[in-house]
Structure formats: structure tokens, C-alpha cells
A = this chain, B = another copy of it.
């Protein structure tokens, strides 16, 4: 337990020991806005903590996800990605996903209306399907700016 156990209090009731890998992985995720894969996290931490193994990265990410501190994104590119899940509503966001290059854009504008409708829909769905709704995913798929202009050039050349 070297350094200030910045996140220890969060672990009450979830696990019995607050360890270096857990501190460091959570700390990395809360400092970045990127959507990191396990391997990327491993590679990044290797510089400062070469002792941490891949297995522990996976186990810790799974733990953090179960605790609700981290969101696991499964986007179909072969590896899961993880992002810190801030508790304050300001940072709640949804995603734009480029199906060509994999780019991920967070957006949090226009959410007020969106979330209001979601609440209403959730209530109706919970009642109709006897389903306890705990979270939602909203993502828009398409082409980012770069990929779009590229595909336009191609289709004009293919004439």
C-alpha cells in the first residue's frame, strides 16, 4: 500500500484487501478519457509497475466493473474496452462509433431530453416485461469525418 490509498474507501464491503494493482489500475482509468483495452492498460502500467501481470489486470477490471466503478465496452473489435464511470451525472455520456476505423466519440450534449425519454421508456418496459432495468447503452454507428471523406473519394474514383 505505497502512496495515498486514494480509492480505498470505495472498496468497503466489496473486497477485503486494497492492493497496489487495484489502486494503480483504477487511478489510470480515472485520469484518462480514453477507452482502454486490457492490453493497453497492461502496457501503460508496465512502465511504472513492471510486476503487474495480465491476469491481474483482467481480474481487477472485472472487479471494478462489478463494483460499478468502471464500464466495460464490448464493441466487436475483438477486445473489450474499459472506461471510468464517474458518479456525477455531468460526465454521463453516450457514444458515436466509427464502424470503419473504430474511433469512439463521447457525447454528452443533447442528453437532457434523451435521458428524460429514457426514464419514461424504462418505466413502461419494466412494467410490461417485469424487467428490472439498471443501466442503458445508446450508441450511434457510422463513419467518422476521416473515414467518410475517404469513402467519398473512393466512390467518385470508382465511376
| A contacts, CB < 8 Å to B | 72, 74-76, 80, 96, 98-99, 105, 107, 109-110, 113-114, 117, 121-122, 124-125, 128-145, 148
Main DSSP-derived SS at the A contact region: mixed
Which of A135, A140, A144 has its CB near the most chain B CB atoms (within 10 A)? A140
- Complex Cα distance A74/B73, Å? 10
Inside 8 A of A105's CB, which chain B residues have their CB?
129, 131
- Complex Cα distance A140/B135, Å? 6
- Complex Cα distance A145/B130, Å? 5
- Complex Cα distance A145/B144, Å? 39
Inside 8 A of A96's CB, which chain B residues have their CB?
125, 129, 131, 133
Query: Smallest distance from the beta carbon of A38 to chain B beta carbons, Å?
Result: 14
Query: Smallest distance from the beta carbon of A26 to chain B beta carbons, Å?
Result: 21
Contact indicator B141/A138 (Cβ below 8 Å): no
- Which residue from B121, B131, B143 sits with its C-beta under 8 Å from A114? B121
Residue of B nearest to A75 (CB): B74
Residue of B nearest to A146 (CB): B130
Inside 8 A of A136's CB, which chain B residues have their CB?
138-141
